[in-house]
Chains A and B, each alone.
Chain A
Amino acid sequence: MNHWIVAPVILPALLAPLIAFVMRHDIVVARAASAAGTVALAAIAIGLTVMAAGGETHVYYLGNWPAPFGIVLVLDRLSALMVLLTALLALIVLWHAIATGWDARGRHFHALFQFQLMGICGAFLTGDAFNLFVFFEVLLIASYGLMIHAGGKVRLKAGVQYVVMNLAGSTLFLFALGTLYAVTGTLNIADLVVKVQDSAPGDQALIRVAAMLLLVVFGVKAALVPLHFWLPATYSNAPAPVAALFAIMTKVGAYSIIRMHTMVFGPDNAATGSMIGDWLFPAAVLTIAVGAFGVLGARRLMPLLSYSVIGSMGTLLLAVSVFTPYGTETALYYLIHSTFSAAALFLLADLVVSRRGGDGLGVQRPTVQNGLFAALFFAAAIAMAGMPPLSGFLGKLLVLDALRGPDVIVIGWTAILIGSLITILGFARAGSVLFWKSTAAPPPEAAHEAEQGAAPVDPPSPASALAIAPTMMALALLAALTVFAGPVTSYLQDTSAQLHDTAGYVSSVLARDGEAE
């Protein structure tokens, strides 16, 4: 057993209480500890990725209990990839939060941030369905605190809605797990694969109920239409760095669908058959439509970005819904891309909005560094909308390629292509109002001073290079994802092949005999 597998959970879990109790009065120390912890997490994640790249499925038996009885953590290529993605995103977001001072606007930002990382990494690594629920709760309870960080009336009201929505989702999760346990007698994912395959015909209806309940639960997390209503209010009212970190939270839902519904409830088992894909496909098409029209119709910048996240989740889940190895591969590529492009947009929006009077898409006096922000917004919007040359284009191209089955090609291609067109229109409108028309507006200082006489408003201070660096870094990662698309997709091909090889996963997790204790 390699103990490094549990490190991405243990490290933040130990660090967070230390930050909360020992360093609560000194923001500098807390920042240093949180940054060091996140860098260490990234290093561990790289190590785990290297370890998993060999193609072996590494299993960590907590408490050394044999597999179907104890809880296991499983490290395969997919979970290593997701942990690495989380660590990289966390670095970018943490840097932004420190450089812009967001973390000092309320208490306990860093402790909650580390708890959040613990929950996310745990959810990606666990091999037990109930343990997945527990890690969901860990990441959610931390996200509740982060969501209302720095307070404010609107944010608190949005926070209440977010909590209620997710509590209802958690309750459904428990109902689904209870049903699954009542039918199969196990909650270990590898054991579930076996038990669901061998299920008696009389039990299959209950298994279908559990599979659909789980799809609903993960759909809430992944903002699948019609379960997306919490997302725009949450993302647009959360602090911008938190919204950028939440870019990985929707991916937790997508990951869970990929993990559970490909391996346990895949299309080749008799209990569920193609049912999951049949429901997921139209829902994903609707998600693209809602995202695209939301982008076009939004009157404020933050809801616009939130709807673009919904649209990208639709594209991602559309690729998942075909449940083929190639579909999963393209979905994973798009997942990486969509995480970083959403993060780049939210971080950039923070820089822009904090220098304007609110995030309304109206004509205002130009901000400082208007040209720089416009260029960055242009790049990030191109990535999110899926135009060449950035990875959004390649990602959408791959997803289109995966949707070549005769029964999905017409609707799937139409949804993605028209959805992209509408998204481009929405972003073009927002960008031109924010950055181009604003330069035509008269400088308000003169009028303001004329009215009030004294006390002119201070012009917003330009963003320092340190504050812009995280946005640049996210965009640079997108560029790297584009340039190295060949190696990345071939790695993702192996990842997807390993995921679809359920027999290999089951034998690695369940076969304990002969291993040195």
Chain B
Amino acid sequence: MEILVATAVGALTAGGVYLILRLRAFAVILGMAMLSYAVNVFLFSTGRLAINAAPILTGYEAGDYSGYTDPLPQALVLTAIVISFGMTAVLVMFSLGAYLEAGDDRIDMDGPDTLPDGEAEVTDGAEDAAHLTIEIEPKESGA
């Protein structure tokens, strides 16, 4: 059981790290999702792995804690799942917005500091606001 969970966390993390180092937004989003799965499984295991056990202390008068699993990591995982789910949604919307604006989904900037003097792009873009208002509605912050 321990080996299974540990290899799962390790494989997911390795895959996630590899993917977020890619140049394209799609791979990076997948990588972030894999990383968040990895951390969820990892958080779950921090309360020690117990099989077929409820988070209810039954035998504590007899000093028997064996059939018990720690409820707190489960609560933490729930919070983490909600947050990472919302964040992945935000990341998808951001990448879509950037893709639609820029025409490609490359994640790197084209030299923000190397524009010729005086020719720097003005990005105040009041006229661009219309594209964006559909996308910015991150209201998941109550999680």
Contact = CB atoms under 8 A, between A and B. Distances in A.
Contact of B39 (A141, A161, A175): A175
Most buried by B among A107, A156, A163: A156
B91 A303 contact: no
B61 interface: no
B98 to A, nearest CB: 4
A137 B141 contact: yes
Contacts of A107: 129, 133, 136
Nearest to B88: A167
Given A174-B43, A300-B113, A153 B140 contact: no
B128 to A, nearest CB: 4
Contact of B73 (A17, A171, A181, A300): A181
Interface in B109-130: 109, 112-126, 128-129
B92 to A, nearest CB: 10
Contacts of B143: 134, 137
B107 A160 contact: yes
A154 interface: yes
B54 interface: no
A151 interface: yes
Interface in B1-46: 20, 25, 28, 32, 35-36, 38-39, 42-43, 45-46
Contacts of B141: 115, 118-119, 137-138, 141-142
B120 A106 contact: no
Interface stretch (A25-33, A277-285, A358-366, A460-468): A358-366
B3 to A, nearest CB: 17
Contacts of A108: 133, 136-137
Contacts of B114: 299
Interface in B32-85: 32, 35-36, 38-39, 42-43, 45-48, 72-73, 76, 79-80, 83-84
A118 B142 CA distance: 10
A368 to B, nearest CB: 17
B109 A233 contact: yes
B117 A360 contact: yes
A148 interface: yes
Given A115-B141, A150-B124, 19 more contacts: A137-B87, A141-B87, A142-B138, A145-B136, A153-B98, A153-B123, A155-B125, A159-B98, A160-B98, A160-B107, A167-B35, A168-B35, A171-B35, A175-B42, A178-B43, A181-B72, A182-B47, A360-B119, A360-B120
7 contacts: A141-B87, A141-B90, A170-B84, A178-B73, A233-B112, A303-B112, A303-B113
Interface of A: 13, 17, 20, 105-108, 112, 115, 118-119, 130, 134, 137-138, 141-142, 144-145, 148-161, 163-164, 167-168, 170-171, 174-175, 177-179, 181-182, 232-233, 236-237, 239, 298-300, 303, 354, 357-364
